[in-house]
Amino acid sequence: MQRTLGEFGRLDVLVNNAGILVPGTILEMQARHLDLIYRVNLRGPVVFCRAVIPHMARLGGGHIVNISSRGAIGPGQGPYKEPRTGGTAYGATKAALERFSQGLAAEVFASNIAVNALSPHLLLWSEGGYYFRTLGGGTPSYAGVRMSGEIIGDAAVRICAKAPRAFTGRILYDEPFLLEDGMSQRELMARYPVVSGPSPTNP
């Protein structure tokens, strides 16, 4: 934050994008892994928001975008057909991040600060995803995956162009948001292509 202020003199937008997923079920994971997921996915955004909000308030407003995941959506009630192999701890922190985003939005809207959560609608290629897909060797399939994260960056820019008090406390997904914001389906698919094939399940 101080480096940003030193270089630009002000801070108008914060995007909390850092995240970590440790593979495995709750029983397989060590306690230190649970602590790490919590520190990166939830505590980090909370601490960063606390740091920037006073500065944004003095400037007259700003935007905070917390990057979440479809992993925040639970599997729903049972009975279940097959066991899930992991993602519970990660999903729990993302669900908490979305609740935090809405709660914080309700706290700071009077300072003209917007707080929104934004998730990819489809899986995006990442180094972490590549690592998991190649653990067993061979060439992984990327059917249904966007090979660029440009779409979520562009969605964040559009969110931050909105009036903070009018557009805050939202749980958004990049593709539906861009369509609702006026982008055509044809333009969306041309700008952010998807590898052909069925979409894989999000963590």
For 179, residues 6+ apart whose C-beta sits below 8 A from its C-beta are 185, 188
Catalytic residue among 38, 80, 90, 173: 90
SS (H, E, C) the chain: CHHHHHHHCCCCEEEECCCCCCCCCCCCCCHHHHHHHHHHHHHHHHHHHHHHHHHHHHHCCEEEEEECCHHHCCCCCCCCCCCCCCCHHHHHHHHHHHHHHHHHHHHHHHHCEEEEEEECCCCECCHHHHHHHCCCCCCCCCCCCECCCHHHHHHHHHHCCCCCCCCCCCEEEHHHHHHHCCCCHHHHHHHCCCCCCCCCCCC
Considering only CA atoms, which of 169, 187, 170 is closest in space to residue 178?
187
Residue type, 77: Q
Residue type, 169: G
131 is catalytic: no
The residues carrying an active-site annotation are: 90
